Amino acid sequence: MIEWLDFVLRPTFAIASVVYILLAVHVARSSPQHANSVIAFFLLLIGALVAGAGFSYGTDDPNIYGIGRVLALFSSGFLPVAFYVVYREYTDGPPHALVIALLSVIPIATTLLALTNSMHGMIWTATVTETGLYFTDVSEHSWFNRVQAPFMYGLFIYSAIALAGRLPTIALAHRKTVLLLLGCAILPFGVSVGNIYLNMGPKDFPFSALSFVVMLPLYAYAAISMRFYEFSPIAYQTLFDHVRDPIFVLDQEERIICVNKSAQELLRGSERELIGRKLWDDFPEARDIVRQASELDLTQTLKLHKDHIYELSVGPLKGPKGQHLGMVVVCRNVTERRQAQSQLADSEHLIRTLIETSSNGILRFARDRNDKNVRFRCVFANRAAETYLDCGTGTLVGMPLDKLTQLNPERLIGHFTGETAGRSALSYETSAEMADGESWLRIVGEPVGDDFSVTLIDITQRKRNEDKMLADALRDPLTSVLNRRGFEKEGNTLIRAHDRGAVLYLDLNHFKTINDRFGHQAGDALLKAFGHRLEFCLRPEDILGRLGGDEFAIVLPGISVDDARHVADRLVQTASEAYIIQGQEIKCTASVGIALMPEHGEELWHLISVADQAMYDAKTEASDDAANDGSAFMGHSGERNQ
């Protein structure tokens, strides 16, 4: 039986200790909060305790037994300290570092004694018997009985009782987590007490470590599913102190028995200084308000000092059986609210003026109860609305919505009528032809009770800016011709609209050499001048684009092969003329390749690739042989002279 236990328990302890250590690592990496590191240390100590039991149980090797005992004594000594820190973290806040240091004295001393046990035998002794080597239990030695055990069990009992006693101050939603933590800690503690002090089971059997193995699923559930390391309970005292309104708790004789931090700041004194004093002895009006409170809540306004107005809410303080114990006074600073109300009352005329002078048109439409044929009429319109919707009658008020065609009235009526009429806002854009061109308005309809309002926002300039931005996005910033994206968009459209045409692909010969010799600024100026020359040689319906670097492409819709050759010759000739760049004369030639539609394809980029290949062939052939037979593609090239 013992051999079977040895065979099962040691691997079980090893696996459990590894799992506890992994849980500790998981908790430590989950969040940087200080409380989490304590929980991680707590789980690590449990893993060390279980590992220690795995080393020491059933072994007759003094060294292995010593390792297990050191691990067990170290972890069991620091577990109550860690549990105490967890209790403080979850209730009153972390303890002072000096307190932790003092509590760590006995665990450190126990660990040192365990490490040096071979020199003094104060923790355990080894005796050779007929059956083998026998190790005494720690409970048989005075250090454990008189020092370690009282400290360890005493600190744990204190922490557990204190944490259980603080349950009423912990929010209800968090009590389940605290109870689970208590249960996971108390069960192994009870097993240890029963084994050592009540002689329940053999003392050399690792009941405590085995109980932690049994509790492993609960600890894993608490760490992974409930994530109890993230628990940060809000005590009622903390909530009371962090309420922004000053709160005073008075006894039956109107003496202060409790105040929050805001109340201390209001009366410029600490809670210790204020307890026992009469509330606001220097303010008779406040005392009168307090005395009026009996069984009913009372709210009145009180002016303190010269510039501050407080709203006092006074309610009775009752015990668990309904007995009258005093009263609670809550003060709310309403100075800003009163000033805001006064300013709001003074600003009604200003708001009306702002509406009338607003650049946005504002209208309100109401149902016409007298005319069944008219569903809505305009009941208010500011000056801007009159300007936007000039109907020739001089005023919009009284006008049926149906006649205001600029507003797209069917859309407004459809949205704000019927049983399923939407109660949400409606927004859309509409255009109208004005004397100075096309004008755009954004119509925003919003429900107002059974009626609705309409706001007219002039977005003409925004539309023009959007069109300009879109056009700029399709243009090459250097040469002002179409960029690759714009050329692809307009070129595809143009090709689809024509049955025949040509695509030309051009670049400047030896452009890199010019860049290196004259500089990039001169190269950019050359590209810009080259693009302008190309535009000058083309028809209005032709499309010119810069594909990148010194590479340009042209779509010539509706032309024959002879026309395409003629245009290519003209482009090469024009490009070969000398350029004056930065006061210097630069001569540069161009190469051009031609692809015909539909002979070589009907897709833009396929035609460009054919023309690109033609241009490449033109560069490699002599000038007299640059033109091919026209059945596939042809190219043109000029020679550079500087």
**Do 324 and 218 share a structural domain?**
no
| pLDDT score of 557 | 94
Of residues 435 and 501, more confidence is placed in: 501
Among the ranges given (37-51, 78-92, 159-173), the one the predictor scored with the smallest mean pLDDT: 159-173
Per-residue pLDDT reduced to its tens digit, 539-583: 989 999 999 889 999 999 999 999 999 999 999 999 889 988 888
**Do 170 and 34 share a structural domain?**
yes
Q: 123: pLDDT confidence band, cut at 50, 70 and 90?
A: confident
**Do 492 and 454 share a structural domain?**
no
626: left (phi over 0), alpha (psi -120 to 50) or beta: alpha
**Do 178 and 142 share a structural domain?**
yes
| pLDDT score of 462 | 81
Q: What average pLDDT score do residues 55-66 get?
A: 85
Last residue of a domain, one of 462, 487, 516: 462
**Do 493 and 388 share a structural domain?**
no
| pLDDT score of 434 | 65
Dihedrals φ, ψ of 308, to 5°? -115, 135
**Do 308 and 185 share a structural domain?**
no
**Do 352 and 333 share a structural domain?**
no
Q: In which domain, by residue range, is 224 found? A: 2-230
Give, as one character, the DSSP assignment of residue 428: E
Predicted structure pTM score: 0.45
Per-residue pLDDT reduced to its tens digit, 431-482: 876 656 678 888 998 888 778 889 988 888 887 777 777 777 788 888 889 9
For 428, the token pair is: 């859309």
* Most confident region among 422-431, 433-442, 630-639 by mean pLDDT: 422-431
**Do 197 and 100 share a structural domain?**
yes
CATH number of the structural domain spanning residue 565? 3.30.70.270
Last residue of a domain, one of 442, 462, 482: 462
Is 236 among the domain residues? no
Q: Specify the number of domains making up the chain.
A: 4
Is 545 among the domain residues? yes
Helix runs in 319-408, H state only: 335-346, 348-357, 383-388
Is 176 among the domain residues? yes
- State yes or no: pLDDT of 497 exceeds 80: yes
**Do 94 and 208 share a structural domain?**
yes
**Do 54 and 73 share a structural domain?**
yes
CATH number of the structural domain spanning residue 129? 1.20.1070.10
Q: 429: pLDDT confidence band, cut at 50, 70 and 90?
A: confident
Among the ranges given (222-236, 339-353, 384-398), the one the predictor scored with the smallest mean pLDDT: 222-236
Distance CA 17, CA 57 (A): 14
CATH number of the structural domain spanning residue 334? 3.30.450.20
Report the half-sphere exposure of 247 (CA within 13 A, side-chain side): 16
* Most confident region among 23-32, 188-197, 465-474, 477-486 by mean pLDDT: 477-486
| pLDDT score of 612 | 92
Is 237 among the domain residues? no
Mean pLDDT computed over every residue of the chain = 81
Per-residue HEC secondary structure of 224-263 comes to HHCCHHHCCCCCHHHHHHHCCCCEEEEECCCEEEEECHHH
Is 372 among the domain residues? yes
Give, as one character, the DSSP assignment of residue 124: -
Per-residue pLDDT reduced to its tens digit, 212-242: 888 889 888 888 877 776 666 555 566 677 7
- Mapped onto helix, strand or coil, the DSSP state of residue 408 is coil
**Do 219 and 137 share a structural domain?**
yes
Describe the crossing of helices 207-214 and 2-30 by its angle, rounded to 10 degrees.
60
Is 469 among the domain residues? no
pLDDT above 70 coverage of the chain, percent:
84
**Do 485 and 600 share a structural domain?**
yes
- State yes or no: pLDDT of 393 exceeds 80: no
Is 175 among the domain residues? yes
Q: How many helices (H) and strands (E) in the chain?
A: 25, 19
- State yes or no: pLDDT of 641 exceeds 70: no
Is 642 among the domain residues? no
Last residue of a domain, one of 230, 252, 284: 230
What DSSP element (H or E) covers 549? none
